[in-house]
Structure 1
Amino acid sequence: MRSCLKFAGMAALALMVAACSEQKEGGEQQAAAPQQQPATPVGTVTLEAQTVGLVEEMPGRTIAFRQADIRPQVDGIIKERNFTEGGFVEAGQQLYMIDQDVYLAKVDAAQAELARQNATYEQAVKTRKRYDPLIKSQAVSQQTYDDAVAAEAQGRASVAAARAELEQARIDLAYTTVTAPISGRIGSSDYTEGALVTANQSAKLTTITQLDPIYVDVTQAGGRLLKIKQAIANGRIKGVENGQVEVSLIIDSTGAEYPHKGTLQFSDVTVNETTGTIRLRVVFPNPDGTLLPGMFVRGQVRQGHLEGAFLVPQKAVMRRPDGSAYVYVVADGKVVSKDVTIEQSQGQNWLVSAGVEDGDQLIVDGLQRVGPGAPVAAQPVETAKAAE
């Protein structure tokens, strides 16, 4: 009887130990379960390699295509003003009339002097011709003949001088009519009828400005332009082989885009020592006179296109303290960090030329909750669209 009871007690004890062991193992498994990090949901977009146009936005200012200050070239009193201030004038149109009486008299005097010198010259020629046969027979001295030849030469020179004086007098007479050297809008007149003006005075009579077409000078960082030229030379940037660079324009005062496109004319050959920038000159059609000299604008210069590039949302790009840029992508369910090379901004995107690949799942939402190596659950937001 005792042996039976002893055996029963041992069996019960064994059952209790087994139960405790199972309970302990179950507890350890339950304790280990929370240590496994769950996958964090993140928003992603799929990157697509594409050909992207390079558009550089540069500050600039409008400059008159041509501008002429009108000044008198002879002395006199202004007798007439033949234009409307602020109006349009054609090249060659008469603007002012200066009193011509003095200059008409000078022309008459010069004509009379030319006639007198012609008569003297003709007499000298006749004298020399009479001496030609006489010198051969030694009927006249050599000195007399030489004097006749010299008189003829002096007469010829005097005629030329008198003719030049007459031409100068006619030019001065023509200058009494002040005409427009170019076509364009004319400004206010600083002189009225009755005013005395002098030749080549410093004060201008008025100014004519040609507004169609019009120049726009924009500035670009010298280092940036050098990089673009190098990329064009090695073939990384294409589409500028023909030299025709198209430029769009944004008017700062209104924020509106100018309806006409411009063409890049040239880039300066020197870098501004103060700002480190290079001036680019663009010419725009201005048929309606919308652009006026001195306006602040922003030029969007097309500098070729980049093949195999990516448009990456700006919110997906992060930077280290040293300024280097990187992004997070999803690979095999985990976060991978990739360094990227940024060319420029385009709207809400960065134009990336290196660092990511076609088809990469770029993390754009939930960046603050993850880090490299963290398990994530990609939830597509939208596919990155191509942009020219």
Structure 2
Amino acid sequence: MAFAPIWIAACTDASTAEAPPPPPPTVSVVEIRTEDVPIYSEHAAQTFARDMVEVRARVDGFIEKRFFEVGSMVKAGQLLYRLDVRPYRAEVAKARGDLAQSEANLDFAKRQVALAQAEADLAQSEANLLKAQNDVSRLRPLVEQDAAPKQSLDDALAALEASQANVDARRANVEQVRLSTSTQVNSVEGQVEANRALLETAELNLDYASIRAPISGRIGDTRVQVGGLVTRSSPEPLTTIVPLDPIWIRFQVSEEEVLLYQSLVAQGAKAPPLELVLADGKSFPHPGRLENTVNQVDPKTGTLEVQATFPNPEHTLLPGQFGRVRVQTADKSDAILIPQRAVMEMQGLQSVMAVGPDNKVMAHGIQTGARVGDRWVVESGLKAGDRVIVEGLQKAGPGSVVDPKPYQPQAKPSAGGGA
């Protein structure tokens, strides 16, 4: 019985020595192939309402009716509110009456009735003067021949003098009436113009009692309900309207990118279209375009604000949303790309694990450039044909042997990328 443990131990050592080594760990690899890819610059962006309009009352009054639903789309000129129009209709009626009266006064003044009467009186006086002159001319020879009494001539001379004075007075009166009539016509014409302006103002106020949308866009909440009083001096607007098509986007770019863009434009290149990636990772279906930049670089960040527009016919985008703007800055030929998850970084240095022809793992220091989707462009450290480990890095160390299998990426919506 003493030999049994020894025999069992010997059998155990023999079975252990004869056990085969474990298989090499399986890793997923990608084989490097060069390809031509567009290089994009990507920036955090936010939509904003550049032309938001406040809707305000131009006249005072009580709201009789509201003609829109909060949050709906409205068109320019669409009726939004109607105020109580009765006071303004009364003002229009009064202004029309005042204008008609002043126009009648003007017509009367222009007919110059008083002047006509004064001129008629002058004509009568001139006729009397002529008769007096004739009487004197007739009596003077008769008196000289003692054919008529001298008193008759004296009476005729007195009548002539009186007639001359009367003509002078009538002539002065005509001039005075003519001047007065001209002044009166001018005054009444001024009154007509003033009343016409009052009528236009009254008609405008009546029109302003119907409050309409100044622009097309999405309308906000109403601040005053039906029956409430609105005034021209109210500090709060009735509501606001935000135009949504096109929608404006703002984002920051570096000084280097501004210079690059300016260089491309100077060389005759067309302004590249913009792509907007939404918060859910999906691309907005309509391309945008650059519109303008602010007039100075922010010295704290070294960036410049850029503004762009995107067509938004479906009104999908609203002001205040966040996303990422992508703009193509170059085309790279024979680019080497690897999945981002294959890259390891330590103390600012990047590296990958590659599998050699004998399936041994080797570490490669690399330098990455632009990001394209979920891949990096490799500027140095790899070449076409190299096999890089993507999955199973924790099982592979330099010098170890692995069992490489082709990497099968999971399909997912492209979120885009940039430098």
Q: Which range, TM-score by smaller chain?
A: 0.5 to 0.7
Name the SS for the 1:193 alignment partner: coil
Q: Deviations over 1:189-223 (max 9, x none)?
A: 22112211111422121222232332222221233
Which whole-Å deviations, capped at 9, do the CAs of 1:292-326 have from their partners, x for residues lacking one?
210111011234x347684565989999x9x9999
Could you tell me which residue of structure 1 aligns to residue 97 of structure 2? 112
Equivalents in 2 of 1:186, 1:66: separation in Å?
13
Q: State how far apart, in whole Å, the 2-side matches of 1:299 and 1:205 are.
A: 35
Which of 53, 62, 75 lines up with 1:68 in the alignment? 53
The residue aligned with 1:126 is: 111
Residue identity matched to 2:238? L
| CA displacement at 1:73 relative to structure 2 | 0.9
> Which among 314, 321, 329 is matched to residue 288 of structure 1?
314
SS of corresponding position for 1:279: strand
Which residue number corresponds to residue 191 of structure 1? 224
1:109 deviates by 1.5
User: How far apart are residue 281 of structure 1 and its match?
Assistant: 2.1
Aligned CA distance change for structure 1 residues 299 and 129 (closer, same or farther; 3 Å): farther
1:268 CA displacement: 2.9
Cα offset, 1:231, TM superposition: 5.0
Q: Which residue of 2 aligns with 1:57?
A: 42
Distance 1:341 1:154, change over 3 A: farther
Alignment partners' CA distance in 2, 1:325 and 1:340: 6
Counterpart of 1:188 in 2: which secondary structure? Answer: coil
Contact 2:38–2:331 at 8 Å: present in 1 too? yes
Alpha-carbon deviation of 1:165?
A: 0.7
Instruction: Give CA deviations for 1:37-61 in whole Å, capped at 9, x if unaligned.
Output: xxxxxx995767x5x5342111111
Of 279, 298, 306, which residue of structure 2 is paired with 1:272? Answer: 298
For residues 264 and 218 of structure 2, the distance between their equivalents in structure 1, rounded to whole angstroms, comes to: 43
Structure 1 pair 109/298, CA: closer, same or farther in 2 (3 Å)?
Answer: same
Tell me if the contact between 1:83 and 1:95 (Cα under 8 Å) persists in the aligned partners.
Answer: yes
> Helix, strand or coil for the counterpart of 1:113?
helix
Aligned match of 2:76 in 75, 91, 94?
91
Distance 1:127 1:226 in 2: 79
Residue equivalent to 2:245 = 212
Deviations 1:63-90 (A, max 9, x none): 2364322211111111112222223333
Q: Deviations over 1:322-341 (max 9, x none)?
A: x9999xxxxxxxxxxxx999
Query: Which residue type is aligned with residue 269 of structure 1?
Result: N
| Residues 1:361 and 1:197: Cα distance change in structure 2 (over 3 Å) | closer
Contact 1:74 1:200 in 2 (8 A): no
Task: Give the Cα–Cα distance (whole angstroms) in 2 for the partners of residues 309 and 277 of structure 1.
Answer: 31
Letter aligned with residue 271 of structure 1: V
Q: Give distance in 2, aligned partners of 1:351 and 1:164.
A: 76
Structure 1 residue 150: Cα displacement:
2.3
CA shift at 1:258, angstroms?
2.0
Question: Residues of 1 paired with 2:227 and 2:304: CA distance?
Answer: 48
Q: Which moved more, 1:154-163 or 1:52-61?
A: 52-61
How big is the shift at 1:250? Answer: 1.1
Aligned 1:333-344 pairs, distance under 5 A? 344=370
Asked if 1:301 corresponds to 2:301, the answer is no
**C-alpha spacing 1:154/1:230, structure 2 compared with 1 (3 Å):** same
CA shift for structure 1 position 171: 0.4
Q: Secondary structure at the match of 2:189?
A: helix
Instruction: Structure 1: state its 5+ residue gaps.
Output: 1-42, 327-338, 370-380, 382-387
User: What is the number of equivalent residue pairs in this alignment?
Assistant: 310
Read off the aligned partner of 2:262 and give its amino acid letter: K
**Inter-partner Cα distance in structure 2 for 1:79 and 1:232:** 56
Output the CA distance in 1 between the equivalents of 2:334 and 2:298. Answer: 32
**Percent pairwise identity:** 30
Distance in 1, matches of 2:103 and 2:180, equals 18
Distance (Å, rounded) in 1 between the aligned partners of 2:384 and 2:270:
38
Which of 192, 196, 218 is the matching residue for 1:159?
Answer: 192
Q: What is the Cα-based RMSD across aligned positions, in Å? A: 4.6
* 1:94 positional shift: 1.7
CA shift at 1:271, angstroms? 2.4
Relative distance call for 1:120 and 1:300 in structure 2 (3 A) is same
Unaligned segments of structure 2, at least 5 residues:
1-29, 127-167, 352-365, 390-396, 399-405, 407-417
